[in-house]
Every structure is written in structure tokens, then in C-alpha cells.
Structure 1
């Protein structure tokens, strides 16, 4: 019985390690692309992305950020905020809803007794 428990525990640890590696890859991917996206413009004659495509991309980014842990969310969203406010000619990706959720969650964590 102890051997079975040890195997289950090892598999659980491996699952957590793989999950952490996947989240680290996801964080790296998002942080690599956010500065580029924030600096992107629509082009001269024809928009690069339609309104629907932009909305879809923002939703994908929000979902990916939501899956990250608090510290990774903070890192991604602070990078986004820096580049979003630094690039006056671009108004996207608009991740304000994700930022607002992160702020609310963080405040709740700090206010716990």
C-alpha cells in the first residue's frame, strides 16, 4: 500500500512540475509578444486586424492571463501597462478588464486578517 501511495505522490509531483513548466512557457510567450502588440498599429490603407479579430485576440490573451498564478499575472500585466501607456498611437490590446480583476484579487489578499 505504501508503494502505491508513493507512486501516486510521484505522479502528482510530476503533474505539478509539468503544469509549472507550461505556465512558465505561457508567461514567457505572453511577455515576449505584449510589447510588440502594444506597439502595433493598423497600417496605412487597410487595418491589419478587423474589430472582431482584435476582440478575439484580446479574449485569448485575457484567458491566458487568467490561467496564470498571481505573481505571473502581476509580471504580465505590469509589462502590458508599461507598454500600453508608453505607446500613445496604439490602443490595444486593451487588457484593462484583466488588470482590474487582478487588482481586485490582490487587494482582497492584502486585506485578509
Structure 2
């Protein structure tokens, strides 16, 4: 297969790309971690997360380590943060460009402190 998988993460609390956010791609069938990446200044990873021979039909999970991203950015989170690790489970069934966009905020709806 010649497909590819990409992502783009935006921090809605700052209105900017989520730079420095760690993510992990796992193949669900066998639990194999296929990639561990960190977003760049544009909130994307450098190059596709999955492509070439590694790109196969199946169910995958991208885990976005959002809580760690906000903590490193100096956000004080409660003991049980609104978002911590955000899993996105999806299936790949044919060649193509698959893209997983994500908007993140450290605040829940009722405690939103946006500007």
C-alpha cells in the first residue's frame, strides 16, 4: 500500500498550533507501537506518521499526550485534568491520505477561561 497518515493539533486556549505535543501510534490488533512522534512548531509531525510498507489495512490508535503538553507549557491542571491522554481509534481500509486533526484545550466547558 502507498497510503499515508498525518495529523495536525491546534491549541484552542492559545489559538496556536500545539508545538511539542507527544503522540504514539499503535496497531490495535497486536498492540505494536509503530511510531512515537512530537509535533513541530506548526502542530504537525515532520513527515507522515505512517507510510510505505508499514501502511496496512487495520485498526490503529493515535494517543495524544495532551496533559503533558499543557503541564510543560506551565498550565496548572487539576488532579484529574479535563484532557490527559486523548486516544483516537480509526481504521485504514485502502490507499489514500488519512488525516487526524485535533483541537485541544486544558479547560472543560464549564470552566473555560478563554479570552
Same fold (TM over 0.5): no
TM-score, normalised with respect to structure 2? 0.28
TM-score, normalised with respect to structure 1? 0.28
Bigger helix share: 1
